[in-house]
Structure formats: C-alpha cells, structure tokens
Amino acid sequence: MEKLSIAEIIEKIQKEEIFEAVSSDYSFTIKIEEYVPYVCGAVHDGHQFRKELWENCIHTEYERWYEEDPETKAMVQSHPIVIAGMDSRFEYDLNRAPETAIYTDAWGKQLWYKPLSEEMTAKSLTKHANFYKVVHALISKIEEKFSSCIVYDMHSYNWQRWDREVPTWNLGTANVDNTRFGNEIESWRSVLEKIPLPNNIKSTSKINDTFQGNGYFLKYITENFNNTLVLATEIAKVYCDELAQITYPEVVNAVEAYLKKELKLHAESFYETHKK
C-alpha cells in the first residue's frame, strides 16, 4: 500500500493504473486490483479520531464505536475495487452532506464541550471534500470504461435498540430508480437472505424496513451519474456484541466468504443487463 495525495490518486484512476493506497492525510483507503464495473464502499468503517479533538468530545470511545460500522470493509475486502473511510463519523460523516457532516450532537447527546473552531471544522470538511473528489473520479472512470456501474454501499446498524424484530439485512432504496433497477434490487435482497451464518444466526432481508437509503454517499453518486446504481446495504450487528464491544470474526468471515462469490455474480448480472 502506498501513501498518495488526492491528486496522485485521481491521476492513477484516470490512467487506469492498478494500485492500493491510503490518502496522505490517512482519512481513507482505496484499492483497485482490476478495473471492473462495480465498486464496494464502506464509508463508516473508520474509527480514527483526531487527537486534538479528544478532550473536547463528550462521547466516549465506546459510544463512538457503537454508532460506527466496524468490519464493513472486511466484509467486502476481497473485491477488486474497495474504498473505505478511516476516520470516525464523529469527526465528520461521509454519509452526510458537507453542511451537516460535522455533528453538534449525536443520538440525543451533545457531542462537544465547546463548539468547534472554524479551523477544526475546516480540517474535517477538507477531508470530506477530498474523499468525494476521489469518488467522483472513480465512478467517472467506471462509467466511461463500462457505460454502467453498481456500487455496494456497506453499512451496519444496532439491532438491539429496536423494540421489534428487525431484518438481518436491510436495503434502502428510497433514492434510487426502483422502476429501472427493481430486478437488481430484489435479486440482491434475495442473495443476502441466503447467507449462511454461524452460531445459529438467521439471515433475513427486507427493503426499506429499518432504513430507506437516505445517505449522502448514495445520493451524491445517484445525482451525478446516470448509469450507476448504489445499493445501500445494512447488516444488523449480529457479527458483534454491540453492548460489550466484542467482534465475532467467524461471522464476519462467513459474510466475506459468501459475498466473495455472490456479490461478484450479482454485479456481473447487473452489467450484462445494463451495459450499452
């Protein structure tokens, strides 16, 4: 893995080079092993939190971890193109628009003892903007090369805070073209509910049950690219003990092993249907 500037990453994408890199400010990673018509993203995978913000943050390290999406990059790491955040959403949220990306409160609790200075805010928003410069270059290249693209937008959610039974997997489709892409949405839902999970964990999947797919990552790509489908894919945190902060690697590995084959097949089917 290389450490590269935003300009260097974009140049490599434009030249269709194979590379794996961390951004020079260590805010995200990107891997391109082969140029294929699909991308895996994990914008909330990160847990890093700038040290200069530590003393001003009311939320504990555990409270931040609880609301992040740990292991979502690991679930898709075997695929050729993966882009993932390294910073915590508590510094800036890549799945929110710039004007709301920096929280003042989070999940009903004030986040900062003192409001952030303009300098602190600017540092975080610069990283947010740089990430989307790379996203734009990446999807532009994929559409240019293949005419269409599908993005698997991986997230997780805290199922234990719900007071009803919720699905293992949820697809949020409120902001994509369900008429045009309805078959692919349903086939992806069907793929997910067939994942064999250890520890007697059942795998169920629904559409717009717990979340509707209102994230900025999906909206940004959908609004800027006419031939790309983003599938906002949320797994309930059955792969960890969300109250004790313990990860179950056998569950993460089971998801990754299944998606290694089935996600690729789904992407190939999408491309055969929507290529020009």
The per-residue pLDDT for range 7-35, each reduced to its tens digit, is 999 999 999 999 999 999 999 999 999 99
- pLDDT category at 147 given cuts 50, 70, 90 is very high
CA distance 236 to 241: 11
Residue 212 lies in a domain: yes
Q: Which domain holds residue 97?
A: 2-270
What pLDDT shows up at residue 108? 84
User: How large is the average pLDDT for residues 120-144?
Assistant: 97
Model confidence over 178-210: pLDDT tens digits? 999 999 999 999 999 999 999 999 999 999 999
What is the tally of structural domains in the chain?
1
Given a cut of 90, is residue 256 above it in pLDDT? yes
Burial environment of residue 123 by CB neighbours within 10 A (0 to 12, 13 to 18, 19 or more): middle
Residue 46 lies in a domain: yes
Helical (H) or strand (E) element with 188: helix 178-193
Residue 175 lies in a domain: yes
Residue 52 lies in a domain: yes
Residue 276 lies in a domain: no
Average pLDDT of the chain to the nearest whole number? 96
Residue 275 lies in a domain: no
114: domain CATH number is 3.40.630.40
CA distance 37 to 145: 8
Determine if the pTM surpasses 0.85.
yes
What pLDDT shows up at residue 110? 93
What pLDDT shows up at residue 79? 98
